[in-house]
Amino acid sequence: MRHLLSAKDLSHDEAVLVLDTAAQMAATQAREIKKLPTLRGRTVVNLFFEDSTRTRISFETAAKRLSADVLNFSAKGSSVSKGESLKDTAQTLQAMGADAVVVRHQSSGAPHRLAHAGWIDCPVINAGDGTHQHPTQSLLDAFTIRRHLAGGAGDLAGLHVTIVGDVLHSRVARSNVELLTTLGARVTLVAPPTLLPVGVESWPATTSYHLDDAVADRPDAVMMLRVQRERMSSAGGGFFPSGLEYSRLYGLDQRRLDALPDHTIVMHPGPMNRGLEISAAAADSPRSVVVEQVANGVAVRMAVLYLLLAGAQATAPADDETRVLA
Amino acid sequence: MSVRYLLRNVAPLGGDRTDVLVADGLVAAIGAGLPADDETTVIDGTGLVLLPGLVDLHTHLREPGREDAETVETGTRAAALGGYTAVHAMANTSPVADTAGVVEQVWRLGRDAGWVDVYPVGAVTVGLGGERLAELGAMAASAARVRVFSDDGRCVADPVVMRRALEYVKAFDGVVAQHAQEPRLTENAQMHEGVVSAELGLAGWPAVAEEAIVARDVLLAEHVGSRLHVLHVSTAGSVEIVRWAKARGIAVTAEVTPHHLFLTDESARGYDPVYKVNPPLRTADDVEAVRAALADGTIDTVGTDHAPHPAEDKDCEWAAAAFGMTGLETALSVVQATMVDAGRMTWADVARVMSVTPARIGRVDDAHGRPIAVGEPANLVLVDPGARRVVDPRAQATKSVNSPYRGTELPGAVVATFLRGRPTVLDGALVEGKVLA
C-alpha cells in the first residue's frame, strides 16, 4: 500500500492490519509519555483546501505523536487563493521535503490526481475529498465498532451497521460502505430518496427510506450523518422541505433511541447538528461513542502514517518494538 | 508544380478499384488504366479507399480569443490531416461569433489559412446568453454566408427563444444546432449520473437532462415546421426520441461524436480530466444505442466536437478542469474501429455520415460531400484502412494535447487529402505552402 486514497483500496487483511496497528498505537497513548520516535526526521504535510479543524488537528496530533515534523498548509490566506494550481502547490511542498501529503480537498478525486498524475512522488493520504471518500474516518469508525462490538480484535463479521442521513453528499457514507462490508459487516443506508445517489443500487448495502423500520431491524450500530441545513433551500438543491420534517422522519430522537437494542452504539462523524439529525438525548446518551471516535481517530491516523512511512513491508509493529520505541 | 494527380487503383467509397485523375480542381477522369503523362503525379492507391473530403459540422477552432488552445491555422491543419476539407467553426469564441463582423473574421482566417474551407457557425443568442436572438440575418447575409446557428457549449434553454430561432432561420434556409442540456438539471454536473458517479462522488449529469430538451425541441420543430439539428446525441433515450420524431416526419437530424461511439463513463474512474466532456461519456448501453442509430440512419452525422484546451485546463483536479477533447485527427479512425471494422457500416456509409449528410445539413453541398464523379470538385480523402497507429497527441497538428486516445492503437490512416484538386496532405503529412483556392 503506497497511498491511502479510498477505503476500497484496502483488502480485508490490510484493513485488519491497520486496525491491529491502531490498537497498538492506542495502547501507547495511555502512557504518560505518548510520543514515539518512529517518524523522527520525516515531514508530513497537511494540505487542507477545505476548512476542517478537527481532521487537521487529528492528523497533526498523530504525526507529532510519531515524532514527525508537521507542516500545515491551508488554502485560506495561501497562494491557492491567488490562483495557484493544485499541481504547483503540491510540487512546492514536495520541494520543501514532504515525505507524505495528507490532503483534504473539496473536489472529488483530487487526492487521486495528486497520487497518480506524476506531479509528486510521495505517499498521499486522503483526508476527505469532495463527496467521494474519507478513508481514515471509516477506519476510525470500524475501530470504534470493533472495540465495542467485536471484542477489539479481528473483523466485523456478522455485525449490522445502519447509516442514516445525507448519503448523496457523504464521503463518510461511501467510505464506510466499502470498508465495513470488506470487514464482513452488513450495512443499511437510510435516507430520504432525494439524498440517495442514482446508482446506489450497485453498492454492497441495502437501502431504506424509513428510519423506524431500520431501528426495528435491530442494528448493532447506528451512524448518524451530518445534514447541512442549506440543502433544504432551493439554492442548495431543495432536497427536503424543512428541518423539522427531516428531524421528524430521519432524526435520532428519544423514541427511536429507546427502541434500539441495549447493546446498540450511536455514532456521528461530527460536527453534530443537535436537534436536526441527532437529539441531545442521543448525543449525550451512554450509548453514544462520538467522543471516543475522536480519540480513536488519532490512533488510526498514527497507524496509517506508520504503515505508509515506516512499514516498508506492511506489517504491524511487534509488541516489543512499541515498548522499545516508547 | 504538378497540378494533376493520378490516383492509381483506388477504391472509391470502398467499391471496385479504378483510377481517378484529379486535374484543374476537378475529378477529371475515372477508369481503369488511365494514362499518366510527365505532368502527372501518380499515387499508388492499392489497398486504399477514396472518399469525398470529410465535412465536420462541429469544430471548435477557438480563434478569436483562445489562441493558446487553438488557432484557425493549427485547427485547420489538424482538420486536413484528419481527412477533412470543410469544417464548421463553433461560435463560442471570445468575442462570441454573434455578429457579421466576427463570423467574417473567422471566415477570412480560414480562407487565408487555406487548409480546409472554414464555415463559421453563428451564435443563436447574443453572447450565448440565451435571452435575445443575435442578428442571424446579418450573419446569413455576410461574406461568411452562415447557415448553421448554435449556442453550442450552452443550451438554448428558454423554449420561447428556441421557438423563435427555429422559426426565424427559415427565411434563409438555416438550421439551429442544439446543445441539448437542461441547465437546472445539470448545475455543477461533472459526469454521467449513474453507478460510476455514485461511487466517485462526482455530481451527476443525468441522461434525462439531454432527453428532455431533445423531446421539447423536436416538438417545437414540428410545430413551427423548421429544421432542427441535435448535436452530440449521447443517450439511448435521445436516440429513441429522434427515431420517433423521424417516423413522424419531423425535419430533425442528429449527430454523434467519435468519443460517444468509443468511450464510456468507466473512463472517469482514474479522475483524469482528459475524459471530462460535455455531454459526458455515458454507459456501455448508450454507446451501443448510438452505434446502432448511426448504422440504421437514425443518427445522421458524425461530428468531432473537437475541443482543444491548453494543458493547464486539464492538468488539474477533475472539477477544476475544462470540458472537451480533441478529435479532428482521430475521428475517421474511431469510426472505422467502431463501425466499419465491426461490420456495421460500409465505407459508402462513412462517406454519407462524415461528408455527404453534414454538407447537406450545413448547406455547403454545392462544394462538399459531392459524388466521386467526373466534373465534380476534387475534395477528396485517400484512406489506408490497413494502417494501424498509436495515438501520440504531441505529434498531432492541433495545438492541444487533450486527446482521450493517447496511447491507444487505432486503425486507419489518412494518406492524402485534396482540397479542390490541390493536396493539403500527401503521404500522411501536411503539404506546406499556401494552398490557394
Per-residue pLDDT, averaged over A60-81, amounts to: 83
Query: What pLDDT does A90 receive?
Result: 86
Q: For residue range B139-173, what is the model confidence (pLDDT) as tens digits? A: 999 999 999 999 999 999 999 999 999 999 999 99
Q: Please report which confidence band the pLDDT of residue A79 belongs to, taking 50, 70 and 90 as the band edges.
A: low
Helix (H) or strand (E) holding B44: strand B40-44
Q: For residue range B103-124, what is the model confidence (pLDDT) as tens digits? A: 999 999 999 999 999 999 999 9
Longest pairwise C-alpha distance within chain B: 66
Per-residue pLDDT, averaged over B370-399, amounts to: 98
Q: Please report which confidence band the pLDDT of residue B2 belongs to, taking 50, 70 and 90 as the band edges.
A: low
- Taking the CA atoms of residue A301, residue A307, residue A308 and residue A311 in that order, the dihedral angle to the nearest 10 degrees is 150
Q: Count of A–B CB contacts within 8 Å?
A: 80
* Contact between chains at B270 and A116 (C-beta distance less than 8 A): yes
User: Which chain B residues touch A133 with a CB distance below 8 Å?
Assistant: 201
Per-residue pLDDT, averaged over A202-218, amounts to: 98
Q: What gap in Å lies between CA A82 and CA A76, rounded to an integer? A: 10
Residue B166 contacts residue B224 (beta carbons within 8 Å): yes
Per-residue pLDDT, averaged over B264-270, amounts to: 98
Interface check A110 vs B, CB under 8 A: yes
User: Which comes out higher in pLDDT, residue A32 or B326?
Assistant: B326
Is pLDDT at A120 greater than 60 in this prediction? yes
Is pLDDT at B59 greater than 50 in this prediction? yes
Query: What pLDDT does B98 receive?
Result: 98
Is pLDDT at B361 greater than 90 in this prediction? yes
Query: What pLDDT does A325 receive?
Result: 41
* Contact between chains at B316 and A174 (C-beta distance less than 8 A): no
Predicted-complex ipTM score: 0.90
Q: What gap in Å lies between CA B214 and CA A293, rounded to an integer? A: 50
Residue B306 contacts residue B323 (beta carbons within 8 Å): no
Q: For residue range A307-324, what is the model confidence (pLDDT) as tens digits? A: 999 875 444 555 444 443
Q: What gap in Å lies between CA A55 and CA A104, rounded to an integer? A: 9
Residue B151 contacts residue B89 (beta carbons within 8 Å): no
* Contact between chains at B198 and A108 (C-beta distance less than 8 A): no
Q: Please report which confidence band the pLDDT of residue A77 belongs to, taking 50, 70 and 90 as the band edges.
A: low
Q: Is B19 helix (H, G, I), strand (E, B) or coil?
A: strand
Query: Taking the domain A7-134+297-325, which CATH number applies?
Result: 3.40.50.1370
In chain B, pLDDT over 70 holds for what percent of residues?
Answer: 99
Asked if domains A7-134+297-325 and A135-292 share a fold, the reply is yes
- Provide φ and ψ at B44, rounded to 5°: -75, 115
Per-residue pLDDT, averaged over B288-315, amounts to: 97
Q: Which of A86, A112, A174 sits opposite B316 (nearest CB)?
A: A86
Q: Which of A109, A131, A174 sits opposite B318 (nearest CB)?
A: A109
Averaged confidence pLDDT in chain A: 92
Which range is least confidently modeled, A45-49, A76-80, A253-257, B174-178?
Answer: A76-80
Q: Is A14 helix (H, G, I), strand (E, B) or coil?
A: helix
Q: Which of A6, A108, A178 to mutate to test the interface with B (most CBs of B within 10 A)?
A: A108
Q: For residue range A231-276, what is the model confidence (pLDDT) as tens digits? A: 877 777 899 999 999 999 999 999 999 999 999 999 999 999 999 9
Beta-carbon count within 10 A of A253 CB: 17
Is pLDDT at B99 greater than 60 in this prediction? yes
User: Which chain B residues touch A198 with a CB distance below 8 Å?
Assistant: 193-194, 197-198, 204, 206
Query: What pLDDT does A321 receive?
Result: 46
* Contact between chains at A109 and B312 (C-beta distance less than 8 A): no
Give the start-to-end residue ranges of the domains of chain A: 7-134+297-325, 135-292
Q: For residue range B195-253, what is the model confidence (pLDDT) as tens digits? A: 999 999 999 999 999 999 999 999 999 999 999 999 999 999 999 999 999 999 999 99
Query: What pLDDT does B1 receive?
Result: 47
- Those residues whose C-beta lies under 8 Å from the C-beta of residue A141, and which sit 6 or more positions away, are A172, A176, A179, A180, A223, A267, A269, A293
User: Which chain A residues touch B196 with a CB distance below 8 Å?
Assistant: 199
In chain A, pLDDT over 90 holds for what percent of residues?
Answer: 80
Interface check A85 vs B, CB under 8 A: yes
Q: Please report which confidence band the pLDDT of residue B178 belongs to, taking 50, 70 and 90 as the band edges.
A: very high
Record the cell numbers describing residue A81, joined without a space.
487563493
Q: Please report which confidence band the pLDDT of residue A124 belongs to, taking 50, 70 and 90 as the band edges.
A: very high
Q: Is B176 helix (H, G, I), strand (E, B) or coil?
A: strand
The residues of A assigned a catalytic role are 54-55, 82, 104, 134
Catalytic residue among B286, B305, B313, B384: B305
Q: Is A138 helix (H, G, I), strand (E, B) or coil?
A: helix
Query: What pLDDT does A53 receive?
Result: 86
Per-residue pLDDT, averaged over B48-68, amounts to: 98
Question: How far from A155 is each of A135, A146, A174, A299, B62, CA to CA, in Å?
Answer: 17, 7, 19, 17, 56
Q: What gap in Å lies between CA B377 and CA B362, rounded to an integer? A: 17
Mind telling me how many Å the CA of B68 is from chain A's nearest CA?
A: 18
Beta-carbon count within 10 A of A153 CB: 11
Is pLDDT at A8 greater than 80 in this prediction? yes
Residue B121 contacts residue B90 (beta carbons within 8 Å): yes
Query: What pLDDT does B433 receive?
Result: 74
Nearest one of B275, B282, B280, B361 to B318, comparing CA atoms? B275
* Contact between chains at A197 and B318 (C-beta distance less than 8 A): no
Task: Say if residue A197 is preceded by a cis peptide, omega within 30 of 0.
Answer: no
Domains with residue ranges and CATH for chain B: 4-50+376-397+408-430 (2.30.40.10), 53-361 (3.20.20.140)
Would you list which residues of chain B are within 8 Å, Cβ to Cβ, of chain A? 190, 193-204, 206, 270-272, 312, 315-320
Question: Is B158 a residue of the active site?
Answer: no
Which of 3.30.1440.10, 1.10.10.10, 3.40.50.300, 3.40.50.1370 is the CATH number of A135-292?
Answer: 3.40.50.1370
Which range is least confidently modeled, A77-91, A104-118, A211-225?
Answer: A77-91
- Those residues whose C-beta lies under 8 Å from the C-beta of residue A33, and which sit 6 or more positions away, are A326
